[in-house]
Amino acid sequence: MSINEWHNETLGQKVVEALKKNNFDAIYLANKEEAIDHVLKFISPGMKVGIGGSITLNELELPKKAQEKGAQVLNHNLPDLTPEEKMEIRRQQLLSDVFLCSANGITLDGYLVNIDATGNRTGAMTFGPKKVIIVAGINKICKDAHSALERIQMKTAPKNNKRLNTPNPCTTTGICMDCKGKTRICNIYTIIKRKPVATDISIVLIGQPLGF
C-alpha cells in the first residue's frame, strides 16, 4: 500500500465511522471498480433510477450501467431535452426507486454539505425516493462544514459554472463572487447532519478523486 493509499483509507474510514454515528449507512471502497459493483447491487430491471447532476456519476458511467441493467433512468442532463422536459424529469426523480447523486463536501464529523441551483438534488437527498445512494470521491472530504463551503466556493462552483457555460463572474475569476444574477447556480445551501427520519441513505466513499 502506498502512502497516498494509506492516507486515503485512513481518512475515508474515519469519515465512514462518523457517518455511521449520524445514522447513515456508509462504506469505504478503495477504487472505482469496487464502487460501481457495490452501487449496481441496489439496482434491478424495471426500477426507476433518478440521476442528480453529477460529474462523479458520469465518470463512473453509472447512468449508462443502470440502463444496461434494465432500469428506467430518469436523467434530466441528457442533451436535446426542452426546459419543460427537464423539469418534468426532475419531478419524477423525487418518486424514484433509487436516486443516485454525489455530494459537494463530506466532513470529518459526518455531515453532508451541498449547494444546488434548482434544488432537485438536495430535495431528493432528504425526502422522496425510496433509496438514496450518494457516491463521492476522497477529494470531497473536508475538515468541517465551513471548509466544505470554502471548497465549493473555490473549486466546485467555478468549475460547474464553466462546465455549464454560464455568464456568471466566477467563470472569469475562478472563484465564487457571490453573484446576484438570474443565472446564479448557487441558490440552495444544505447541511445534512443526521440521516433524515424517512429516507434510506447509503453513502459510498471512494479512495480516489472524482468529480469537482
Q: What percent of the chain has pLDDT over 90?
A: 99
- Cα–Cα distance measured from residue 174 to residue 160, given in angstroms and rounded to the nearest whole number: 11
H or E, element range at 139: none
CATH architecture of the domain covering 3-104+115-140+194-206: 3-Layer(aba) Sandwich (3.40)
pLDDT in tens, 59-94: 999 999 999 999 999 999 999 999 999 999 999 999
Q: What percent of the chain has pLDDT over 70?
A: 100
What average pLDDT score do residues 21-38 get? 98
What average pLDDT score do residues 107-133 get? 97
- Cα–Cα distance measured from residue 157 to residue 48, given in angstroms and rounded to the nearest whole number: 29
State how far the alpha carbon of 131 is from the alpha carbons of 82, 94, 126, 172, 176, in Å: 27, 10, 10, 38, 32
By residue count, the chain amounts to 212
Closest CA to 119 of 146, 85, 90: 90
Mean confidence (pLDDT) of the chain: 97
pLDDT at residue 1 tops 90: no
Domain positions in the chain are 3-104+115-140+194-206
- Cα–Cα distance measured from residue 29 to residue 17, given in angstroms and rounded to the nearest whole number: 13
What average pLDDT score do residues 154-165 get? 96
- Cα–Cα distance measured from residue 128 to residue 124, given in angstroms and rounded to the nearest whole number: 6
